[in-house]
Amino acid sequence: MVRSENKGNYLVPGIISIVLLLVYLLFGPKFFLASLALAFGGFLSLINIRIAIYTVTFLYVFLPNSLGLASFFGVGFVYFVRRIFVEKERIKPSIYWGVIGTYFLIILIQTLTSVDIRGSIRDLGIHTVGLLYLFAVYNSIETKTQLNYYVCILSVAVTIVAGIGILQAFTGVEIRAEWLDVQNNPDIAVRVFSVFGNPNTLAEYLVMFSPIAVALFWHTKSLKKKVVYGLAVCLMLACLVLTMSRGGWVGIAMAALVFCILVDKRLLLLSIPLAIGALLFLPDTIINRLLSIGNTADSSNSYRFQIWNVTKEVIKDYPVAGVGFGHLPYKEVFETYIRTMPIFHAHNSFIQTIAEIGFAGFLMFITMLVFFIRYPINILVKQVKYIKEDKYLKYIGVGVASGLIGVFTHGMFENVLYLPKIIFSFWVLVGIGALGIKILDKKTPLLVSHEDQRYKIYRGSEIDG
């Protein structure tokens, strides 16, 4: 008996192979690898979208920017196409979609009206890909167990990043001149940056996600898990110290303060002996670095002050609409004011945002940030409208709010939403908060009061119906 093969089984792989070959021949190995990552992400999305999400969430920080961009796009685009045009399932609403949509519309307009449209398209594209990924994640992860897998896989990646940074402290890495005022910090021999190109960027990443790892540690009752999560948190904090990023240290201190307030205000009492212990046992190198925060003689501090002063002039000339979305239009305009300071951003997220998209856009940006912080606190942390408190989702909400407040405290000294990996990380953290809210509303019984003071219990599925 002769078995006939279905030629259609070879059609799609054959087409993909030909396309990849053409990409390699026409554009070279870099674009070939990006296309391969895109194809791989799409393949995983077709098999099981959550496998693709977990894989990309773990890998993106280790990949070159082009491959990370391709991977996020692959997951988001394939999911979008399958959901809208193949499965035709209803898109799940989120309390975030309205504010995100409004902000996206603003940055789209600011891209089209930019002084450098091509430069603005770069940042618009990165945020668009991040939002595609967020869309796929929000509509694919449905249960607390799946959310826990997602958060744990992310935490493993953060721990590995921290481990690489700590290893650099022993192997040694070059300190670039713009990273450190050697005259005022003669004892600093290394500033680690792990998989990032800059220690301040690594600090942003660690400040963003360390509170999530602390939340996992705080929630678990298992001694083994506490040891694992505790070691992960210690690695992250140790690596953060070794970045020598003063903004990162201020950011993590603010994140810790917010975490304590949201979990139990009595924890603030522990901060006093911890602060005293730190002052007694921290090396002089770190103490001196902390004391240099307000030192105007420090070259990095004076450099920032100069940038802020010039940026104020830019804002005065472009107060309503800004110069255009993204750091490249800002850089182009800034350097027409002072040609002796080639810069990439304003070293302040808030001043940078005003310069890019004007005061109106800045107000929308701040409104969006408030949404991303307020709702995890009001819904996940307080849980006042639910019958029984879900401690896991509560601590996840604490971690999200603490991470966002911490990283944008750091954003007073750095432009957070600048590099692709940090922009992606921002949307990942926002997505964790949105997922927690969705899962809590869907799975937890609600408490609804009536005029006669009686109460009825509903489940999310009953209300939706």
Average pLDDT of the segment spanning 208-233: 95
438 domain residue, yes or no: yes
pLDDT of residue 316: 93
Report residue 438's pLDDT band, with 50, 70 and 90 as the boundaries: very high
pLDDT of residue 305: 85
351-361 tens-digit pLDDT: 999 999 999 99
At what angle are helices 246-263 and 199-219 packed, to 10 degrees?
20
Q: Look at residues 416, 57, 387 and name the one whose alpha carbon lies nearest to residue 206.
A: 416
pLDDT of residue 232: 96
Q: Residue 454 pLDDT > 90, yes or no?
A: no
Q: Residue 319 pLDDT > 70, yes or no?
A: yes
14-26 tens-digit pLDDT: 666 777 778 777 7
Minimum mean pLDDT among 47-51, 115-119, 387-391, 452-456: which range? 452-456
Query: Domain check: are 81 and 100 in the same one?
Result: no
Average pLDDT of the segment spanning 135-163: 95
461 domain residue, yes or no: no
Q: Residue 82 pLDDT > 80, yes or no?
A: no
Residue type, 25: L
Of 28, 56, 88, which residue is a domain's last? 88
Contact assessment for residue 96 and residue 434, using Cβ atoms and an 8 Å cutoff = yes
458 domain residue, yes or no: no
Number of neighbouring beta carbons within 10 Å of residue 92: 13
Query: Domain check: are 148 and 257 in the same one?
Result: yes
Query: Domain check: are 82 and 225 in the same one?
Result: no
Report residue 1's pLDDT band, with 50, 70 and 90 as the boundaries: very low
Query: Domain check: are 228 and 349 in the same one?
Result: yes
DSSP string, 112-146: HT-SSHHHHHHHHHHHHHHHHHHHHHHHH--SHHH
pLDDT of residue 416: 92
Query: Domain check: are 131 and 54 in the same one?
Result: no
Query: Domain check: are 131 and 61 in the same one?
Result: no
Residue 94 DSSP class: -
Angstrom distance (rounded) from CA 350 to CA 241: 25
275-308 tens-digit pLDDT: 777 667 777 677 777 766 666 666 677 788 889 9
Query: Domain check: are 151 and 76 in the same one?
Result: no
pLDDT of residue 186: 56
Average pLDDT of the segment spanning 102-129: 94
Minimum mean pLDDT among 104-108, 186-190, 389-393: which range? 186-190
4 domain residue, yes or no: no
281 domain residue, yes or no: yes
- Which three-class secondary structure string do you get for 13-81? HHHHHHHHHHHHHHHCHHHHHHHHHHHHHHHHHHHCHHHHHHHHHHHHHHCCHHHHHHHHHHHHHHHHH
Question: The whole model's pTM is what?
Answer: 0.86
Residue type, 267: L
Average pLDDT, the chain: 84
Of 88, 119, 152, which residue is a domain's last? 88
Provide the percentage of residues in the chain whose pLDDT is more than 90. 51
pLDDT of residue 43: 67
pLDDT of residue 9: 47
Contact assessment for residue 175 and residue 188, using Cβ atoms and an 8 Å cutoff = yes
456 domain residue, yes or no: no
149 domain residue, yes or no: yes
Query: Domain check: are 127 and 80 in the same one?
Result: no
Q: Residue 390 pLDDT > 50, yes or no?
A: yes
Angstrom distance (rounded) from CA 251 to CA 371: 20
Angstrom distance (rounded) from CA 227 to CA 224: 5
Provide the percentage of residues in the chain whose pLDDT is more than 70. 81
Query: Domain check: are 273 and 308 in the same one?
Result: yes
Q: Residue 7 pLDDT > 50, yes or no?
A: no
DSSP string, 444-462: S-EEEE-TTS-EEEE-HHH
Average pLDDT of the segment spanning 24-37: 73
434 HSE (CA, 13 A, CB side): 28
Average pLDDT of the segment spanning 304-333: 91
Q: Residue 136 pLDDT > 70, yes or no?
A: yes
pLDDT of residue 284: 67
Q: Residue 460 pLDDT > 90, yes or no?
A: no
Query: Domain check: are 64 and 185 in the same one?
Result: no
pLDDT: which is higher, 209 or 183: 209
pLDDT of residue 464: 39
Query: Domain check: are 295 and 378 in the same one?
Result: yes
312 domain residue, yes or no: yes
DSSP string, 243-257: TT-HHHHHHHHHHHH
Number of neighbouring beta carbons within 10 Å of residue 29: 10
Query: Domain check: are 57 and 158 in the same one?
Result: no
Tell me which residue range forms the domain holding 78: 10-88
Q: How many domains does the chain have?
A: 2
Average pLDDT of the segment spanning 59-69: 88
Average pLDDT of the segment spanning 34-62: 78
Average pLDDT of the segment spanning 47-66: 87
